[in-house]
Homo-oligomer: A and B are copies of this chain.
Amino acid sequence: MIKVGIVGYGNLGRGVCLAVDKASDFECVGVFTRREPSSVKPVTGFPVYSVNDLGKFKGKIDVLILCGGSATDLPATTANYIKDFNTVDSFDTHAKIPEYFAKLDKIATENGTLGLISVGWDPGIFSLVRLLFGSVLPDGKDYTFWGKGVSQGHSDAIRRIAGVKNAIQYTVPKEDALEKVRSGLNPELSVREKHARECFVVAEENADKARIEKEIKEMPNYFADYDTTVHFISEEELKREHAKLAHGGVVIRSGKTTEENSELLQLSLKLDSNPEFTGSVLTAYARAIARLAKKGETGVKTVFDIPLKYLYPLDPDEAFKSLL
């Protein structure tokens, strides 16, 4: 049995709990929270402890799954956890991955622990597939489309506008761009041509909706470069129609093996629940990290380093007999 600790119980932590509960080779030692432990009730009934008590569990946990956010939580806390534990996280600030890796790798190597960073579906499965597709079809070009799905960062950006009570933002891939890519044309696509942004906004009473809409549409980086649609709806409608954290996306690579012959490779995900699926991916990789740590591996790894057999719930060295 793999003894796992789950740090954080938000949407992702809940997803990890559900995945761990389904995996018969895992045993959950506890969910660790910054909140008052008695206030946290995991859907799976796992025991809950204060994150401040984690030190007491050193040597009793094979792998910690870190379910904090990438903006502030993980950069502030992973370095501390990895001193004493093997860790798996979903750090997804692409530009800062090299720096995050270097810092943690040093600590893990010094302390004889093993960490896996940036696991999930992007970064994670999509990254793996971009590497695989690019290597087996080098003379080509790849495209990643996200959605239709909720972007937490963009939803937050809208919520910070004065007069906005609540908001959900969907990233929507554009069908004509997808079609062009799938036809093998390898088009140059601008940001605006790839994705549209659709916003559902609950305004405060008497707020100036025209001003809010303008502020959204002109917000640099987040919206100004996109075709953005804004719908004002009631809080009830938001809760009723936009509560599911669905997401998805596709990686497409189109290329040539010779002048005459084109090859098209695609990986797509369609997810009812982004956090539940991401939790399931983190859990599978936590299995790999627990196994590799037992073999004596240390330092920090990414998905590119992990032979896929270690994700297999049964004997990894037998996987080829049934799955190849």
Contact = CB atoms under 8 A, between A and B. Distances in A.
Interface of A: 15, 18-19, 22-23, 94, 97-98, 101, 118, 123, 125, 127-132, 134-139, 244, 257-258, 260-273, 276-277, 279-281, 284, 287, 302-309, 311-313, 316, 319-321, 323-324
A314 to B, nearest CB: 10
A201 to B, nearest CB: 26
A137 B277 contact: yes
A276 B260 CA distance: 11
A277 B302 CA distance: 27
B269 A257 contact: no
A273 B257 contact: yes
A1 B316 CA distance: 32
Given A138-B313, A263-B272, A273-B263, A257 B131 contact: no
A305 B304 contact: no
Contacts of A284: 135-136, 138
Contacts of A276: 257-258, 261, 263
25 contacts: A18-B258, A22-B139, A97-B320, A101-B320, A127-B320, A127-B324, A129-B267, A131-B308, A131-B323, A135-B284, A137-B277, A244-B261, A260-B272, A260-B273, A261-B272, A263-B270, A263-B272, A264-B271, A266-B268, A267-B267, A303-B324, A304-B316, A304-B324, A306-B307, A307-B307
Given A305-B307, A309-B305, A313-B138, A269 B277 contact: no
B260 A308 contact: no
Oligomer: number of copies: 2
A54 to B, nearest CB: 27
A123 to B, nearest CB: 5
A308 B124 CA distance: 12
A269 B273 contact: no
A284 B255 CA distance: 15
Contacts of A303: 308, 324
A250 to B, nearest CB: 9
A323 B130 contact: yes
B125 A136 contact: yes
Given A128-B308, A131-B323, 9 more contacts: A98-B320, A127-B323, A257-B280, A261-B273, A265-B268, A266-B266, A266-B268, A304-B307, A304-B320
Contacts of A264: 269-271
Contacts of A302: 320, 324
Contacts of A265: 267-269
B311 A131 contact: yes
A96 B41 CA distance: 50
